[in-house]
Amino acid sequence: MATNPIDSCWRCKKNWAKNRKILAKCVLGFGHKTSGGSNGDYYLVTDNSDNDVLNPKPGTLRHAVIQKRPLWIIFARTMHIKLSQELIVQSNKTIDGRGADVHIAYGCGITLQFVHNVIIHNIHIHHIFPSSGGLIRDSEDHFGFRTVGDGDGISIFGSSNIWLDHISMSEGQDGLIDAIQGSTAITISNCHFTHHNDVMLFGASDAYSKDQFMQVTIAFNHFGKELIQRMPRCRWGFFHVVNNDYTHWKMYAIGGSMHPTIISQGNRFIAPHDLNAKEVTHRIYASESEWKNWVWRSEEDLLMNGAIFRTSGPLSPPDLKFNEKDIIKAKPGTYVRTLTRFAGTLKCKERIKC
Closest CA to 81 of 121, 127, 113: 127
- Domains of the chain, CATH where assigned: 7-339 (2.160.20.10)
- Using one digit for the tens of pLDDT, what is the confidence trace for 309-340? 999 998 765 566 777 889 999 999 999 999 99
Separation in Å, CA 16 to CA 11, 13, 339: 7, 6, 21
Tell me 89's DSSP state: P
Residues labelled as active-site residues: 230
pTM for the model stands at 0.97
Residues 135-192: pLDDT tens digits?
A: 999 999 999 999 998 899 999 999 999 999 999 999 998 999 999 999 999 999 999 9
On average, the pLDDT of the chain sits at: 95
Q: How many beta carbons lie within 10 A of that of residue 276, not counting itself?
A: 8
**Predicted confidence (pLDDT) at residue 96 exceeds the cutoff of 80:** yes
Give residue-wise pLDDT tens across range 229-251: 999 999 999 999 999 999 999 99
User: For 37-52, what is the mean pLDDT?
Assistant: 97
